[in-house]
């Protein structure tokens, strides 16, 4: 039985995501944005892959900041005020606009997670290279750019994997739940690893090939 994810080429998935983004940001209707947001929230909550819900706390903090920032940005707009305190005036139109923008960004995040989970970073980079290949006609170095993207993602994955492995070993030796131990781990392990990677990134790829 064929998996539909394997039948659809990565470049088509990328173009579909771009088309979704254009449609999403072309509407300011709160009912449409709310309907899409609720549908994607259900996907976010009940999607079988745990990767979908990774970073939930950071997403909530980010969306809260976006919502509050757009509310303050909407001060002084026409419309009945629903809240007034000292110099803060929140209008109905400002509140509606902030909610729409927050829902749009949340929908983009969930859509991006779906794209990455069902395609994979290497395939997405390859698909992006195929989409951008016509730019070679005007002498834009597409191949070099795509290769740099792939090496960057590989390096980040290598750094993350090594940090997780060292954290697992350290947690067996010490109590990593204490703040002092976490700070010590960052100073002794994470920072030197990042410095070495920045100075000599080739060492990360050599070490990765040796571990394979």
Query: Which stretches of the chain are DSSP H helices?
Result: 4-7, 10-25, 30-46, 56-73, 92-119, 121-132, 142-173, 179-185, 191-199, 202-211
The reported pLDDT for the residue numbered 48 is 92
The domain boundary, picked from 133, 154, 183, lies at 133
Q: Tell whether 14 and 109 lie within a shared domain.
A: yes
Q: Tell whether 26 and 57 lie within a shared domain.
A: yes
- Structure tokens, 177: 């739940």
Q: Tell whether 114 and 14 lie within a shared domain.
A: yes
Between 66 and 80, the higher pLDDT residue: 66
Q: Tell whether 158 and 129 lie within a shared domain.
A: no
Q: Tell whether 58 and 115 lie within a shared domain.
A: yes
Between 111 and 211, the higher pLDDT residue: 111
Q: Tell whether 20 and 122 lie within a shared domain.
A: yes
Q: Tell whether 187 and 95 lie within a shared domain.
A: no
Residue 9 in contact with residue 127, Cβ under 8 Å?
A: yes
Q: What is the pLDDT of residues 157-197, one digit of tens each?
A: 666 666 677 777 766 666 656 666 666 666 666 666 666 65
The domain boundary, picked from 133, 166, 196, lies at 133
Q: What is the pLDDT of residues 1-14, one digit of tens each?
A: 445 455 568 888 88
The reported pLDDT for the residue numbered 39 is 95
Distance CA 83, CA 85 (A): 7
Q: What is the pLDDT of residues 2-45, one digit of tens each?
A: 454 555 688 888 888 889 989 988 888 889 999 999 999 999 99
Distance CA 132, CA 186 (A): 39
Q: Tell whether 112 and 156 lie within a shared domain.
A: no
Q: Tell whether 84 and 145 lie within a shared domain.
A: no
Domain tally, the chain: 2
Q: Tell whether 33 and 85 lie within a shared domain.
A: yes
Q: Tell whether 83 and 27 lie within a shared domain.
A: yes
The reported pLDDT for the residue numbered 154 is 66
pLDDT band at 212 (very low <50, low <70, confident <90, very high): very low
79: region left, alpha or beta (phi > 0 left; psi from -120 to 50 alpha)? left
SS3 138: helix
Q: Tell whether 124 and 157 lie within a shared domain.
A: no
Residue 117 in contact with residue 52, Cβ under 8 Å?
A: yes
Q: Residue 163, class by beta-carbon neighbours within 10 Å (0-12 exposed, 13-18 middle, 19+ buried)? A: middle
Structural domain of residue 88, as residue ranges? 4-133
The domain boundary, picked from 79, 107, 133, lies at 133
């Amino acid at each position: 039985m064929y998996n539909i994810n394997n039948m659809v080429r990565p470049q088509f998935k990328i173009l579909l995501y771009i088309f979704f983004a254009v449609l999403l940001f072309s509407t300011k209707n709160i009912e449409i944005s709310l309907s899409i947001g609720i549908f994607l929230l259900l996907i976010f909550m009940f999607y079988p892959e745990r990767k979908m819900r990774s970073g939930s706390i950071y997403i909530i903090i980010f969306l809260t900041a976006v919502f509050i920032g757009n509310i303050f940005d909407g001060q002084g707009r026409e419309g009945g005020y629903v809240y007034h305190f000292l110099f803060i005036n929140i209008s109905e139109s400002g509140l509606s606009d902030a909610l729409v923008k927050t829902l749009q960004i949340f929908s983009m995040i969930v859509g991006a997670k779906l794209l990455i989970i069902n395609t994979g970073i290497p395939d997405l980079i390859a698909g992006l290279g195929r989409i951008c290949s016509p730019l070679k006609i005007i002498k834009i170095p597409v191949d070099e750019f795509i290769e740099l993207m792939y090496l960057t993602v590989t390096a980040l994955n290598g750094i993350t994997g090594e940090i997780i492995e060292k954290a697992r070993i350290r947690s067996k030796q010490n109590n990593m739940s204490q703040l002092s131990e976490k700070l010590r781990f960052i100073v002794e392990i994470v920072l030197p690893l990042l410095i070495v990677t920045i100075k000599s990134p080739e060492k990360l790829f050599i070490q990765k090939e040796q571990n394979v």
